[in-house]
Chain A
Amino acid sequence: MNHHEPDPWEAAMTDAFDRRVRDLHEAPLDLGRVRTRAGGIRRRRVAAAAAGLAAAVAVPVALVVSGSLGGGSTAPEPVAPTSTGPQTDLAPSYVEGTVLRLADGSTVDLPPGAAYDSAVQLGDRVVAAQRDPSDGSTTVVVLEDGTARRFPAASGMRVDARSQVAAFITRDGAVQTVWADGEATLGQGYRGWAVSAVSGGPDCSDPDGDCRVLLRDESGPEGPRALGPDGVVEEPVPGAIGLLDVQGDRWLATTSVDELVPQTCGGLYDADAGAFVFETCDHTPQQLSPTGAYLAATNTYTEGFGPSFVAVLDPATGAELLRVEPAPEQLLGRLAWVDDDTLAFTRATGPTWELLTVTVGEEPVVVAGPTRGLAPDPPTSSPFGLPLGR
């Protein structure tokens, strides 16, 4: 006879399992708890997907909160004679403490208090984001005609690649844009979201314009979203888990995260053609240069200490044209375009930071620093605030 006799041990196991759980009929999880956990997972995925830029932004936030500013009343202490470098057309604009240093060498004194995270000049206005080190809260300050208007913000401010428009989310969930001679609210109800990038404009109230604010859900499970003057842009990149930048119909997006490798993949998507121009898992695209001639990128994953290299890619092919890798003891921080082929980035060596620029085909040049970081140990809080998203 060849029929299968049930093994008594297998039957005993079935019995033991049934007895073990037969009184377990509970359902302890409701939708709210599942959504909360989903939000955490989503945040980690988005953070990993956003890679270098998000990590570089996130680390200073955490460290400023617990850092050594002592209430934020003191400026970063120079540890060596500070070289501000030659002020040329290629100098970036950046904020240092409470001073906005403009590309032409002039400076703007910002309202005193804690060091500013980022600032940008928009015509006769200056818009600056100040982070309170005591509680980590952000306030966006709009300076104009000798007056300062303050907006409690939910997260940091972003500026477009041409430095023409700034975007942030107010603490009550309004998506706010500000440009040289106007301001507009593009959406309400975005508590728990953050701005990934802003692009186009500068008039974000013009329904025929191309102003776009790219958002990520930091507290829930929603996918990325793009807002324009007329509402939500419906799924500009099908299946994207992160939107990083946009120019016209070309969208930079993250499409997948493998948390085990770990690795992120993404690329440049042409919405007109409905196809990716290129996709890569070797780089995380970060930002198109002002005219879209180049694409800044970092490595595909960072674990909270900033990108391990910064690269410039050809947006037509994804080919790497330039790469800057720090020495083993160095860290990289934020990056921003200075002009169409020059990228600015921050680099830490021990407790001090430098601001550098690099042009495609040339060697990096130090334009400011070394200056002691806002948090001395570990040295991950750059005193040089580049206008985020620029």
Chain B
Amino acid sequence: MSLVRREPSGRRDADFEAYLRARQPALLRTAYLLTGDRHTAEDVLQTSLAKLYLAWDRVHDRGAVDAYVRRIMVNEHHSLWRRPWKRREHVREELPDTAYRDSYDDGQAEALWEVVRSLPPRARAVVVLRFYEQLTEAETADVLGVSVGTVKSQCSRAVAALRERVPAHLHPASPEEGR
């Protein structure tokens, strides 16, 4: 057994910090859309980044780090949601914050957001990854660990919920109507 001093972890931390600086705002936006409120988003992001930090040496493909963090965030939010005390803490009637309300919105974006927020976490994750992150169906399925068929059906159900629950005057125009 050889006895040697361990290398300092300074370079590892510098690498991680550079990633943190570059990607944190984007990851926070995704976390916010997944969770629906700022407090939970920060909490989920902090835990996800901490797990990434612990696994940093094992993430050899730096280009895949975002996908790795997205997967952790989705799982973290899902497990958070399954804890009864957490659900009680965060279920609210009113909007959790209004910092990002769009003054130019005619009400449609707000109405859609409310419906999306009411979706179960897995279904919300599907639509956030598909329509905000612009992942393909296959990429979304990979992040969530589900089949492509499940992604398609979740998207269909989400759109059906929007059609049903968004007031008619706020429905988006079809391509034909827009022409």
**Partner-B contacts on A (CB < 8 A):** 5-31, 33-35, 37-38, 40-42, 221-222, 225, 228, 230-234, 236, 249, 271
Whether B20 lies near A16 (C-beta < 8 A) is no
Whether B3 lies near A27 (C-beta < 8 A) is no
Could you tell me the distance between the alpha carbons of A354 and B11 in the complex, rounded to whole angstroms? 52
Could you tell me the distance between the alpha carbons of A233 and B162 in the complex, rounded to whole angstroms? 60
Given known A-B contacts A35-B53, A232-B3, A9 and B172 have beta carbons under 8 A apart: yes
B16 at the interface (CB under 8 A from A): yes
Whether A34 lies near B50 (C-beta < 8 A) is yes
Which residues, 24 to 74 on B, are CB-close (under 8 Å) to A?
A: 24-25, 28-29, 32-33, 42, 45-47, 49-51, 53-54
**Partner-A contacts on B (CB < 8 A):** 1-6, 9, 13, 16-17, 20-21, 24-25, 28-29, 32-33, 42, 45-47, 49-51, 53-54, 99-100, 102, 104-105, 108-110, 112-113, 116, 127-128, 130-132, 134, 155, 158-159, 162-163, 172-175
Whether A17 lies near B49 (C-beta < 8 A) is no
Given known A-B contacts A31-B17, A233-B3, A10 and B159 have beta carbons under 8 A apart: yes
- Chain A residues with CB under 8 A of B130: 10
Whether A37 lies near B109 (C-beta < 8 A) is no
The smallest C-beta distance from B157 to any residue of chain A, in angstroms, reads 12
The smallest C-beta distance from A288 to any residue of chain B, in angstroms, reads 17
Given known A-B contacts A37-B50, A234-B2, A16 and B28 have beta carbons under 8 A apart: no
Whether A26 lies near B132 (C-beta < 8 A) is no
Given known A-B contacts A9-B163, A10-B159, A20 and B54 have beta carbons under 8 A apart: no
Given known A-B contacts A9-B162, A42-B54, A221-B53, A20 and B46 have beta carbons under 8 A apart: no
Given known A-B contacts A16-B113, A31-B16, A38 and B28 have beta carbons under 8 A apart: no
Whether A12 lies near B112 (C-beta < 8 A) is yes
20 CB contacts below 8 A, A to B, read: A8-B174, A9-B159, A9-B162, A10-B131, A13-B132, A14-B132, A16-B116, A20-B100, A20-B109, A24-B29, A28-B28, A29-B24, A29-B49, A31-B13, A34-B20, A34-B46, A34-B49, A225-B6, A232-B5, A234-B6
Given contacts A27-B21, A33-B46, 4 further A-B contacts (CB under 8 A): A12-B108, A41-B50, A41-B54, A221-B53
Main secondary structure of the interface of B (DSSP, over half): helix
Given known A-B contacts A20-B33, A231-B4, A8 and B112 have beta carbons under 8 A apart: no
Could you tell me the distance between the alpha carbons of A89 and B98 in the complex, rounded to whole angstroms? 73
- Chain B residues with CB under 8 A of A38: 50-51, 53-54
Could you tell me the distance between the alpha carbons of A26 and B3 in the complex, rounded to whole angstroms? 45
Which 8 A/B pairs are nearest by Cβ-Cβ distance? Answer: A37-B50, A38-B50, A17-B132, A16-B109, A8-B172, A21-B29, A27-B24, A16-B112
- Chain A residues with CB under 8 A of B128: 17
Q: Which residue of B lies closest to A17 (CB)?
A: B132
Whether B49 lies near A24 (C-beta < 8 A) is no
- Chain A residues with CB under 8 A of B110: 16
Could you tell me the distance between the alpha carbons of A167 and B14 in the complex, rounded to whole angstroms? 34
Given known A-B contacts A41-B51, A231-B4, A23 and B100 have beta carbons under 8 A apart: yes
The smallest C-beta distance from B177 to any residue of chain A, in angstroms, reads 9
- Chain A residues with CB under 8 A of B127: 13
Interface hub of B24, B155, B163 (most chain A Cβ within 10 A): B24
Could you tell me the distance between the alpha carbons of A9 and B108 in the complex, rounded to whole angstroms? 11
The smallest C-beta distance from B103 to any residue of chain A, in angstroms, reads 10
